[in-house]
Amino acid sequence: MAGSIYGKLFRVSTWGESHGKGLGVVIDGCPAGLELSEEDVQIYLNRRKPGQSKFSTPRKEDDAVEILSGIFEGRTTGTPISMVVLNKTQRSADYSEIAGYYRPGHADYTFDEKYGFRDYRGGGRSSGRETIGRVAAGAVAAKLLKSLGIELLSYTKSIGPYEIDYAEFDREEILNNNLYMPDKKTAEKAGEYVIEMLKAHDSTGGTAECIVTGMPVGIGETVFDKLDANLAKGIMSIGAVKGIEIGDGMAVAKAIGSVNNDGFRMSDGRVEKITNHSGGTLGGMSDGSPIIIRAAFKPTPSILHEQRTVNKSGEDITVSVKGRHDPIIVPRAVVVMEAMTALTIADAVLENMTARLDKIIEFYR
């Protein structure tokens, strides 16, 4: 079992089910002295809230966070930060039907096999609401990173066949459209495509991207705990992610070395990379250029479209999953991906402090 704790020094322990009493997270290892309010966290949680647009599910959920520990006079104390979001509406009756069969693309079958039974209400622990704890903790990690000059920017890169045009990249646009896309025109076309899917009782996949700037050089551990390896784990652990790319990603398979290698040059007395095909890491350590990471999210599995499956009595049946579901996961997952990135980098930034004896001696002088 286990599996709900993440991180080595900045450790988070998330909990909660879709239709239980609430969801939350405990952060153990946040440094003391960080100014932190419930509002800092709420801003992040609001970015994953449904009901903001015609593309996301119209269920009304407030998801108001309450911080229960670890803060004194507005600052973190170095002790665990416990955050809770209580579930307001618990209409379990809606979910009685799915208790009896395995929804395609969901974890119903594997949960039953692993644990012997499952909390079937709204997907239980494998609901998208599971990410509330991740996002709340990620908000804290992001604020910690910001105090070190490290900033994260995340957005929807593509929906179905519609991919943003970097020539049209407009950072301000991200929060202006319902799809969190930084390119207005593509967002419009993608929006129409999503509506089309909805009408066809179907859903679509997409990609999200996260850019991290201001990274010191050398963050990440060589061999197994490479920064990119840990980012891959953190982001692949988000439900629905099926592919992860750093920098040029899968495309490197077709590249040639003389182009793919990022040369170095001096710039204002500092070493810098001329290009950034590597996506900000070399040998698993940050190289000073922006970290660029992408993830592919599968189409929402809950669709009205008729599908084949089996029930718990071992009979072949066809089902159509009712309920109000987003036809696209990506826009609401953008902030989850940013949260996992922030958590992973915060942890690596802390561990990196112990890499060199000269700096340790200086620290304790």
Using the minimum distance from each CB to its own copies, give the nearer residue, 50 or 280: 280
Q: How far apart are CA 179 and CA 193, in angstroms?
A: 12
d(CA 108, CA 115): 11
Per CB under 8 A, does 283 bind its own copies?
yes
Q: What angle do CA 206, 212, 216 make, to 5 degrees?
A: 155
Dump the DSSP string for 1-29.
----EE-SSSEEEEEE-TTSSEEEEEEE-
Assess 360 for contact with its own copies (CB under 8 A).
Answer: yes
User: Which 234-263 residues touch its own copies, going by CB under 8 A?
Assistant: 234-237, 239, 242-258, 260-263
* Residue with smaller CB distance to its own copies, 26 or 174: 26
Contacts to its own copies from residues 57-96, by CB under 8 A: 66-70, 72, 75-82, 84
Distance CA 228, CA 346 (A): 13
Q: Which two tokens stand for residue 74?
A: 């507005």
User: Coil, strand, or helix at residue 157?
Assistant: strand
Residue 223 sits in the site that holds its own copies (CB under 8 A): yes
Q: Binder to its own copies among 39, 93, 171, 363 (CB under 8 A)?
A: 363
**The binder of its own copies chosen from 191, 297, 336, 345 (CB under 8 A):** 297
Burial class of residue 325 (count of CB atoms within 10 Å of its CB; 0-12, 13-18, 19+): buried
Cα radius of gyration rounded to whole Å, the chain = 21
Closest distance of CB 7 from its own copies, Å = 9
What residues between 164 and 183 interact with its own copies by CB under 8 A?
Answer: none
By CB under 8 A, which span of 47-55, 165-173, 176-184, 266-274 interacts with its own copies?
266-274
**Residue closer to its own copies, measured from CB, 42 or 172:** 42
Residue of 121, 171, 341, 164 whose CA lies nearest to 241: 341
The DSSP element (H or E) to which 286 belongs, if any, is: strand 285-286
Using CB under 8 A, which of the segments 44-52, 53-61, 157-165, 171-179 binds its own copies? 157-165
Using CB under 8 A as the binding rule, whether residue 324 contacts its own copies is answered as no
Q: Which is nearer to its own copies, 172 or 265 (CB)?
A: 265
> Pick from 30, 7, 4: which is nearest to 225 by CA?
7
Confirm or reject binding of residue 195 to its own copies (CB under 8 A).
Answer: no
Q: Of 116 and 172, which CB lies nearer to its own copies in the complex structure?
A: 116
Residues binding its own copies: number (CB under 8 A): 165
- Count other Cβ atoms within 10 Å, centred on residue 265: 9
Minimum distance from CB of 329 to its own copies (Å)? Answer: 10
